Structure 1
Amino acid sequence: MSDATIFVRFTFAGFHRWAGASGARAYLADRHRHLFHVEVRMQVAHDDREVEFHDLLERARTIFADDLGTNGNFGSHSCEMLGRELGDRLAKQYRRPVTVIVSEDGECGAQVEVAP
């Protein structure tokens, strides 16, 4: 592998909830909306678009929107869970490690690294 890493970014409006929320954060137990910011990174073997950016972006968006977030509803999935599920699918498809960052409204989130 080379030292080149590609990335794609997108946003997606959706809803989720944290059923176990309590105390000062009890409001998070209710379904609430976020603009999820997603970034996917992966190393490539050479500098001539081994993985086409637009193909990766389209695939990541499709998985996130259609498979993980049916009608924008992510249920009780946390940023970590969403990142891991997206990363698992992409790592299997592209047969390489993938890093996924998912944040709520670009403020708070998680980064996961997934190997195929």
Structure 2
Amino acid sequence: MAKTNIIVNLQYEAIHHWPGCDIPEVSFLKDKHRHIFHICCKREVQHDDRDIEIIMFKRKILKFLQSNYNGDFGSMSCEMIANELAYIFKLSYCSVLEDGENGAEIEI
């Protein structure tokens, strides 16, 4: 039997930093810096007639991000953000990219 996922893609503007960076070439990552985080979330559904309404699911994720982080991820990495979203929203997949370029993904 085929597995079906809904997919939501969103962008979230926020800052973060890596205070423990010990790589001289990218030591600037210790300082807070801004990104547009490109986030892709996939969640398995049980049937093909709006088991989870996609627009409402996207809004729920955005509301969570705004309520919990208000544009500041602190020292969280892309990996940490993806893992948290996967856990909170029971995702089968999550990717988090900085400015749509580099980042992390998790598959459950």
TM-score by length of structure 1 reads 0.85
User: For 1:48, what is the secondary structure of its paired residue?
Assistant: coil
Shift of 1:15: 0.2
User: For 2:89, what is the secondary structure of its paired residue?
Assistant: helix
Return the alpha-carbon distance in structure 2 between the equivalents of residues 98 and 4 of structure 1. Answer: 10
User: For 1:20, what is the secondary structure of its paired residue?
Assistant: coil
Return the alpha-carbon distance in structure 1 between the equivalents of residues 60 and 101 of structure 2. Answer: 24
**Structure 1 runs, 4 residues or longer, greater than 6 Å off:** none
Shift of 1:44: 1.1
Q: Is the 8 A contact 1:2 1:45 kept in 2?
A: no
Task: Quickly say closer, same or farther: Cα 1:2–1:48, change in 2 above 3 A.
Answer: farther
Give the alignment's Cα RMSD to 1 decimal: 1.4
Cα displacement string for residues 73-94 of structure 1 (whole angstroms, at most 9, x for unaligned residues): 1100000101111111111xxx
Q: In structure 2, what is the equivalent of residue 106 of structure 1?
A: 100
Residue correspondences, number: 107
Q: Which runs of 5+ in 2 are unaligned?
A: none
Equivalent residue letter for 1:103: L
